[in-house]
Amino acid sequence: MALTLTDLTAPQGFERLVLAQDPQAGLRALICLHSTTLGPAAGGCRMWAYADDDAAIHDVTRLARGMTYKNAMADLGLGGGKAVIIGDARTDKTPAMMRAFGEAVDALGGTYWTAEDVGISPADMAHAAEATRFAVGLSGASGDPSPWTAEGVFRCLRVGARHAFGTDDLTGRRVLVQGLGHVGLSLAEKLASAGARLMVTDIHQAALDDAATRLGATVCAPDAVFDQQMDILAPCALGGVLTRDTATALTATLVCGAANNQLADDGVADILAARGITYLPDYVVNAGGIISVASEIHGKPDAWRLDRLTAIAGRVDQMLTRARDTDQLPSAVADQMVHDMLTTRRAA
């Protein structure tokens, strides 16, 4: 059986939701286009062993919407989309699967550009690129976007620290990095170099041992994160870590991390604000990866990427200043900034 694409009912406000299947290649994937108002939709491909299709749809739609906001705030001339491949990346992934995924992307005719995300590497994306020119983040081109994501988060974290503590000097600040994947580890290295008192947690012991030995980090168990005394929490694993309960227990003054969709629901932002905790919206601060990918899409040099990393740090400063002056949540200010961009473009 060849590749099939089936349009599913997209949630209200979304443009398209597609189920891509190729049983012979082992592919079952969802591709979601949230908005192409500002340009073709762009966002990574994630591979995860979801419990069922509903869980996969919930994830891909939240991620796609987040990409619209992220790409808008980073001024990339791109809309928002996302893809998820259903399966275990460690055991199920094959080159044939990735080529079939590339065929699915190609069938969308350039309305969606894909790149790597959780469970997908530049080498995997190279297999997808054999079937489509709309696969980016390739070795020899923009490459692994993780270092760029980490650099962007680090710059934004320092801006947040200046607003929260009166200085961006991180010397002695207790910072807990939750998740030591490519982005989390790179961020941890930057924090250690900046003199932070680094704490780390991850589900993989080897990553913890490395951070403890090489960076002098204190290790904490994954289920003990919200028992720790800290100044800054940097969530860099999967989303939904800030629930109403964990937000109530959190001791940090600032939250700034690379994970997508860190808030379990919108009401968590109110809880954090009521407790005097500054939360920097993830879609603003973790845009470094898509900035790197966008440079490949648009054919731009490293200087272009660096300019946009500087720009997102500037937007964080603008967002926090406006939030303070208008007594609003930073997340509400950021959402309004994106809403204004989309409305202006639609009107034009």
What are the CA-CA distances from residue 185 to residues 150, 178, 182, 240 (Å)? 9, 10, 6, 20
What three-state secondary structure class fits 156? Answer: helix
205 membership: H or E segment, kind and range: helix 205-215
According to the annotation, is 79 in a ligand binding site?
no
The residues annotated as belonging to the active site are: 82
- CB-CB contact of 157 with 234 (8 Å): yes
Alpha carbon 222 to its chain's center:
20
According to the annotation, is 160 in a ligand binding site?
no
According to the annotation, is 187 in a ligand binding site?
no
According to the annotation, is 66 in a ligand binding site?
no
Q: How far apart are CA 33 and CA 166, in angstroms?
A: 40
According to the annotation, is 87 in a ligand binding site?
no
Q: How far apart are CA 84 and CA 47, in angstroms?
A: 6
What are the CA-CA distances from residue 303 to residues 154, 299, 309 (Å)? 18, 12, 10
Nearest one of 334, 318, 345 to 69, comparing CA atoms: 334
For 79, counting Cβ atoms within 10 Å of its Cβ (0-12 exposed, 13-18 middle, 19+ buried), the class is: buried
- Give the chain's end-to-end CA distance (angstroms, integer): 44
User: Is the four-CA dihedral 48, 54, 60, 65 of positive or negative sign?
Assistant: negative
According to the annotation, is 179 in a ligand binding site?
yes
Residue linked to tokens 């407790």: 275
Residues 6 or more apart whose CB falls under 8 angstroms from that of 237 comprise 178, 179, 181, 184, 202, 259
The token pair that represents 91 in the structure block: 């055991």
Strand partners, 197: 174
Q: Which residues are annotated as a binding site for NAD(+)?
A: 179-184
